[in-house]
Amino acid sequence: FKIKKITKDLIDKVIKETKSKKITYVGSSKGGYAALLFGLQKENSNIIIGAPQYYLGDYLNRSDNMNTLVNIVGNVTQDKIDYLNEILPRTIEDSKNNNVKLYIHFSSKEHTYEEHIRYLIDDLKRYKYEHKLEVLEYTNHSEVSIYFPKFLLNTIESN
């Protein structure tokens, strides 16, 4: 978890040096996870994300991500996967009073919705986060790279 601390320290340093008043975190897919993680913890931030992962442990516990999982937790156990899965849900609960606004783009027809996004949206509703959704119907997760940029630009322009 050194990377998490180093990243947070870098974000805090840039915010301080630039004297930023309005902070917007942006990312899609794995980057959406990171934007959520760091953006939720900063008061009055905006988070613009596309098709994010929500349960980090489940996402990394796949053969194509196994090396990353091992690098993060060492010996892989179900307890460690469960711990990683709870990072964002805990952060959402702990940050519910931070006045964060979320803008979320996703497809209801690709696997990320059923595996991650629907649970994210349930938790945002549970803790009364202000959020706006753009729901499309493409079937391949990689298509987020086609549709998210327009959503991002439109969201920035409207704020």
Condensed to tens digits (0 to 9), the pLDDT of residues 5-44 reads 899 999 999 999 999 988 999 999 999 999 999 999 999 9
State how far the Cα of 109 lies from the Cα of 97, in Å rounded to an integer. Answer: 32
| Structure confidence by residue, pLDDT tens digits, 31-86 | 999 999 999 999 999 999 999 999 999 999 987 878 888 888 888 899 999 999 99
List the beta bridge partners of residue 33.
none
Name the pTM for this structure. 0.92
C-beta atoms surrounding 48 within 10 Å: 26
